Homo-oligomer: A and B are copies of this chain.
């Protein structure tokens, strides 16, 4: 076939009402990308499931396969989607070890990474203080679920996490539910509450172990700990978790890559 003349009108807008819900006046593939994130956020495809093929999506959005491809490429680069040649494109899930590895950055000084054992020490409903409200984009006093949990590696207590979640999004969350679950916490959030952690920002500091934290870790107070303050985000950049971790870094280190 002869090349078709491109249509200038088409390069800036999608048919029907789709433009209104996406960012207008941006490249087509960015609009497609926004629509895909929107669909993921709405739960149209669940973690672990495949999304429609590129050809189907192209027909659905009335653009070329190449344009869909570029949108999916970016979402795959951001780890929201996972491409598998010959099989399809899948919604990333925390039940894959690959994803977990991105969010649990402790590695042993010697030897191979071991699976962590998680033990919930406390789980209660509280009211958001100013810090929680700011981090989670709530109002002070809004309901929050507060969890304290201990991570151990090969039986050695290594991390105490204080986790704060918006109460409105985690209705049935309890210590029993948490302890009856093996595997990554984010996997539970995903399966039980439909909330996928997709990205996080962390602030790291060195601190001296407080009495109570030291007790949880079986240490003397005053030992040096790595303090990790994390805010996690779902699709569309909504913050849904504040987490303050205290890491023992004598046998383990926090690994990071500067790219």
Interface residues of A, Cβ cutoff 8 Å to B: 1-3, 77-79, 102-103, 105, 199-208, 224-227, 229-230, 247, 249-250, 253-259
A247 to B226 alpha-carbon distance, docked (Å) = 12
- A/B interface sample: 21 pairs, CB < 8 A: A2-B2, A102-B258, A105-B258, A199-B258, A200-B257, A201-B255, A202-B255, A202-B258, A203-B253, A204-B204, A204-B249, A204-B253, A204-B255, A204-B256, A205-B253, A206-B207, A206-B225, A206-B226, A206-B227, A207-B224, A229-B253
A253 to B228 alpha-carbon distance, docked (Å) = 10
A204 touches B224 (CB 8 A): no
Q: CB-nearest residue of chain B relative to A233? A: B258
A254 touches B204 (CB 8 A): yes
Number of copies: 2
A1 to B3 alpha-carbon distance, docked (Å) = 8
* Most B Cβ at <10 Å: residue of A2, A224, A249, A250: A224
* List of B residues within 8 angstroms of A1 by Cβ: 3
User: Quick one: given A77-B77, A224-B224, are A258 and B204 in contact (CB under 8 Å)?
Assistant: no
- The residue that A226 contacts in the complex, of B105, B204, B258, with Cβ under 8 A, is B204
B79 touches A201 (CB 8 A): no
A247 to B256 alpha-carbon distance, docked (Å) = 16
Q: CB-nearest residue of chain B relative to A229? A: B253
User: Quick one: given A77-B77, A226-B226, are A256 and B206 in contact (CB under 8 Å)?
Assistant: no
CB distance from A242 to the nearest CB of B (A): 14
Q: CB-nearest residue of chain B relative to A197? A: B258
- The residue that A205 contacts in the complex, of B2, B78, B254, B259, with Cβ under 8 A, is B254
